[in-house]
């Protein structure tokens, strides 16, 4: 068992820091349905952490708990060494937790640039009054943030579609724009909800490369959900495996791969 403050070194030699986020005994119910049952795990600074499991395992619910869209009935959420009280999603975003969505939630009528700029909202501090006056403070802030956004757009190679309304883009590019918007917030923790869902092989490879690059370049801690096991095993440092709302495995990809419960959950096993 790892110490909370102490880090570890990955197989490819990256240094992982102390605990950034810790979920303690989380239970989430919808009426009589238990979506998450008593799950605990942590996410460490600089890590790529995956949550996997078959359909209906409760992965998305877990991500929604982390991002504040659901509040669990039991258990504690700890972030940066402090217990996080129940919060609204926008407050969680202001804490520095950005996310993408499984079904893509972009502002379809706005351009790519504007979409990514909304990611900067948590970083922009001028008041309504400053904005109304515009000249001076607000103008400077806009320029500074615009520069940061342009860097991210370059980084994710979407320069050519900067001014295109998002509604007109193909699926794979939309996913990338959503990643750009989340990244624009300079998050302490980036949550990706099935970043490869519905993609072809080539798009999956692109997305994997971007996820690794983001982690490498900005040192961003990433927690992602996938049910495509192959992709996840290559990407992540540590993996939580869920099935029927319970945690059935937690460890490095190699540890998880050889875990009998995980094999059963994925391949199916005869119940007698």
Partner 1 sequence: MSDTLIFAMEVTLNGLMAGVLYALVALGFVLIFKASGIFNYAQGVMALFAAMTLVGIMDGQVPFAHLINAIFGTKVHHFGWHVPALAAIALTMLVMIALAWAVNRFVMRFLVNTEPIILFMATIGLAYFLEGFGDLMWGADIKKLDVGLPQGINETIDEVTFGMFGYGFFIDNLDIVASIIAALLVAALVAFSQYTKQGRALRAVADDHQAALSVGISLNFIWVLVWSIAGFVALVAGIMWGAKSGVQFSLSLIALKALPVLMLGGFTSIPGAIVGGLIIGVGEQLFEFLLGPALGGATENWFAYVLALVFLVFRPQGLFGEKIIERV
Task: Return residues touching partner 1 (CB under 8 A).
Answer: 67, 69, 88-91, 93-94, 98-99, 101, 105-110, 114, 117-122, 124, 126, 128, 131-132, 134, 138, 141-142, 181-182, 185
- At residue 147, the 3 state secondary structure works out as helix
**110 or 233: CB nearest partner 1:** 110
**62 or 98: CB nearest partner 1:** 98
**39 or 138: CB nearest partner 1:** 138
Cβ 168 to partner 1, closest distance in Å? 12
Cβ 111 to partner 1, closest distance in Å? 11
Distance, in Å, from the CA atom of 161 to the CA atom of 189, rounded to the nearest integer, reads 27
76: left (phi over 0), alpha (psi -120 to 50) or beta: beta
Q: Could you please report the per-residue DSSP string of 48-89? A: EEEEE-STTSSHHHHHHHHTTSS--SEEEEEETTEEPPP--H
- DSSP symbol at 128: H
Tokens of 221: 């801690």
Cβ 118 to partner 1, closest distance in Å? 5
**44 or 99: CB nearest partner 1:** 99
Cβ 99 to partner 1, closest distance in Å? 5
């Amino acid at each position: 068992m790892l110490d909370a403050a102490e880090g570890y070194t990955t197989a490819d030699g990256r240094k992982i820091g102390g605990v950034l986020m810790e979920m303690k005994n989380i239970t989430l119910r919808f009426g009589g349905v238990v979506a998450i049952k008593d799950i605990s795990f942590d996410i460490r600074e600089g890590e790529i952490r995956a949550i996997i499991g078959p359909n209906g395992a409760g992965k998305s619910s877990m991500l929604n708990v982390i991002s504040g869209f659901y509040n669990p009935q039991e258990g504690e959420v700890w972030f940066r060494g402090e217990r996080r009280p129940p919060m609204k999603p926008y407050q969680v975003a202001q804490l520095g937790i950005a996310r993408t969505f499984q079904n893509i939630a972009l502002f379809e009528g706005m351009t790519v640039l504007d979409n990514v700029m909304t990611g900067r909202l948590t970083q922009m501090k001028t008041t309504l009054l400053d904005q109304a006056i515009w000249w001076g403070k607000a103008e400077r802030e806009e320029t500074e943030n615009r520069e940061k956004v342009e860097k991210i757009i370059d980084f994710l190679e979407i320069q050519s579609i900067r001014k295109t309304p998002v509604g007109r883009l193909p699926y794979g590019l939309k996913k990338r724009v959503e990643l750009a918007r989340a990244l624009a917030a300079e998050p302490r923790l980036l949550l990706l909800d099935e970043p490869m869902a519905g993609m072809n092989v080539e798009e999956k490879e692109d997305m994997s490369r971007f996820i690794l690059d983001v982690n490498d370049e900005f040192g961003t801690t990433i927690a992602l959900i996938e049910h495509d096991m192959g992709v996840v095993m290559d990407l992540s440092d540590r993996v939580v495996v869920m099935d029927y709302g319970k945690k059935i495995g937690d460890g490095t990809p190699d540890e998880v791969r050889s875990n009998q419960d995980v094999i059963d959950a994925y391949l199916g096993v005869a119940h007698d």
